[in-house]
Amino acid sequence: MSFGSRARAAMAAYGPACVGIDPHSSLLAEWGLPDDVEGLDRFATICVEAFAGKVAFVKPQSAFFERFGARGVVVLERTIQDLRHTGSLVVLDVKRGDIGSTAAAYADAYLDEDAPMAADAITVNPFLGFGSLQPFFDVAAKNDAGVFVLALTSNKEGPEVQHAVNGDRTVAGDVLAQLAALNADAFPMGSFGAVVGATIGDAAEDLAINGPLLVPGFGAQGGTVDDIRRLFGSVIDNVIPSTSRGVLSAGPDVQALRDSVARVNAELVGS
């Protein structure tokens, strides 16, 4: 099955929420864990137990593992492997973007099914030119994986690039239009999605890309169900709201974590 098909099935089975696995130092401290590889490993193990096969999407943030060096990357690799093929889809948040053979190498590292760190999907940065992402799309298509392209992020610096005008539309609008072209005729939806922040306010761009829309900023970062309903309107069925602290603050108790994400999904589905 394509990533788009698997994503749609997972959303129907579990609800649309994506749980970000972000083991930053303050969260480790809240869980009573040391800010070292042992604490990281315990944190990741708890998250796997709580979320594997219980939520549609999990999104490990690579940077919070990489900060511990090679041993942290080993924990990330094992976490991905433990989460995959449980019913939950792993979106690895790496925001890679490069050109030529380097882009192809990144694609092979994260999207080739035989790679040690293969994920169901990754995040990528299009601002070296949308065409520079072609190796990611090619490897993803070959392996039934997905790609989420940054389009309208909610960081305050984002508009400097994303709202710049390129011809008759914004740079973000151009990214979204090219994703829509890649997803044309895909059913139930395409495998190439966009990252659109829940706290951007309003979007003049067309968000109907026939692909998944990964929406960070929901929950503790300020985005609400009302924001999602207003911003995404007719394409709300493709929205994957992502929350980390809003769920993870319930840890380290496994059942409390499961209850927390269940409440998030209930709120989203009830919208």
Q: Which of 87, 141, 150, 75 is nearest to 113 (CA)?
A: 141
- Told to judge if 95 belongs to the known catalytic residues of this protein, a careful annotator would answer yes
- Of 54, 59, 95, 156, the active-site residue reads 95
Q: Which amino acid is at 126?
A: P
Active site residues: 95
